[in-house]
Amino acid sequence: MSNLLDLLVAGLATGAIYALVAVGFTLLWQTSQTINFAQGEFVMLPAFLMLAVMHAGAPFWLAIIIGILLSLLLLGLGFKLLLVDPMLRHGVLPLAIATMALAIGMKEAVKQFFSAEASPFPSIVPAGDVSILGRVVSLQSLGVLALAIAVVIGLTALLNRTSVGHQMQATAQNPTVARIIGVPVERMILLTFLINALLVALASLLITPIYLAKFSSGEVLGQAAFIAAIVGGFNQVRGAIAGGLLIGVVDNLAAAYVSTQYRAAVPLILLIVIILFRPQGLLGRPEERTV
């Protein structure tokens, strides 16, 4: 039982990061029909941007700020204007392929300019442990979980309780009608891309101290988050959150109680089961064909 608590906390902490990344998948899909297969690399890059700023002599806090701003510029604005807008007019499939190419390009560029080797990355959460229910739990796990939950709550509040959020949801549900009723659709779509860039930058900040900064680190993360988004429901933010947390916990429990050797297969099995019995995901809604 005590072991179970450790596994749950660690699983939720990892799952919270998957959730942050998975939310980006759903946001982009809802507002602009974009499946970003470079989402994992989007998480990898901010860490290297921050490291570059630190290598230039800046303190960690300044590197975080500059790294987030650069992420908004490159992964939000730049991604939309330079890749999504030109490619989307050719259809969703060419765009998806373009994002795959982008993922390869980002990995190779980071490998070329930084290094193929992993680098350490400082943690924003101090080292140490706290005692919960008689168990020693690391501050880092709790910090990751707390920050991720705060971000998700903030995002949910933005979407559900603000005018901007309602306009974003209207854009997601039906951009044509939204435009007719005066919603600045283009601005809302751009805002979505910027939110995604912020989410991946935060995920990068949280996960890199544990996973280390490496050009290939986005591969595992992108795949896990993509599965989480599908399992939870690709067209629902809350689905992505649930999917992320579920994958994190199931992965850890499977590794501990079933087999560490086959842990990589567990999320895939979960994915297949969900697709078979609930194609729209656990909390997703069925997509209707538009005529």
Partner 1 sequence: MKSGILAGVLLATVSAAAAFAQGGPIKLANVAELSGGGATVGNNWKNGIDLAIEEINAKGGLLGRKLEVTHADSQSNPGVARAQVQKALDNEPYVLLGPGYSGSVKVTAPLAAEAGIAQIMGGEAAELTQGGNKFLFRTSFGQQSSMPKVAKYINDELKAKSVAIVWVNNDFGKGGRDVITKEFAKYSIKVAADISTEAGQADFAADVSKIKAAAPDAVFVYVNEEESARMLKELKRQAITVPLMGETTLVGQKVVELAGEAANGARGHVGLTTDAPVDLVKAFREKFVKKYNYVPDHNGLKGYLAIYMIKATTEKMGKVDAKAFADNLHGLTIKAASEPGILMDATFDEKGDIDRQGFLVEIVDGKQVVKQVLPKLN
Which residues of this chain interact with partner 1, rule CB under 8 A?
Answer: 3, 6-7, 10-11, 13-14, 111, 115-120, 127, 129, 136, 138, 140-141, 210-212, 214-217, 220-221, 251-256, 260-261, 263-264
Closest approach, Cβ 209 to partner 1, in A, equals: 8
Dist. CA 257–CA 108, nearest whole Å? 37
Dist. CA 160–CA 207, nearest whole Å? 28
Q: How many CB atoms lie within 10 A of CB 126?
A: 8
Closest approach, Cβ 50 to partner 1, in A, equals: 17
Q: Is 120 left (phi over 0), alpha (psi -120 to 50) or beta?
A: beta
Q: How far is CA 201 from CA 89, 117, 190, 218, in A?
A: 28, 21, 17, 12
Q: State the Cα torsion 262-266-269-274 to the nearest 10°.
A: 180
Closest approach, Cβ 252 to partner 1, in A, equals: 5
Closest approach, Cβ 217 to partner 1, in A, equals: 7
61 CB-side CA count, 13 A: 0
Cβ closest to partner 1, residue 191 vs residue 207: 207
Closest by CA to 123, choosing from 40, 211, 8, is 211
Cβ closest to partner 1, residue 149 vs residue 212: 212
Cβ closest to partner 1, residue 54 vs residue 98: 54
Closest approach, Cβ 22 to partner 1, in A, equals: 16
Dist. CA 143–CA 232, nearest whole Å? 24
Closest approach, Cβ 136 to partner 1, in A, equals: 5
| Residues 35, 25 contacting (CB under 8 angstroms) | yes
Q: Dmax over Cα atoms in the chain, in whole Å?
A: 59
Q: State the Cα torsion 238-243-245-248 to the nearest 10°.
A: -160
| Residues 270, 231 contacting (CB under 8 angstroms) | yes
Closest approach, Cβ 148 to partner 1, in A, equals: 15
Cβ closest to partner 1, residue 74 vs residue 264: 264
Instruction: Find the length of the chain.
Output: 291
Cβ closest to partner 1, residue 10 vs residue 231: 10
Cβ closest to partner 1, residue 13 vs residue 189: 13
Question: What is the 3-state composition of the chain as percent helix, strand, coil, each rounded to the nearest 5?
Answer: 75, 5, 20
Closest approach, Cβ 149 to partner 1, in A, equals: 18
Residue holding tokens 């947390």? 245
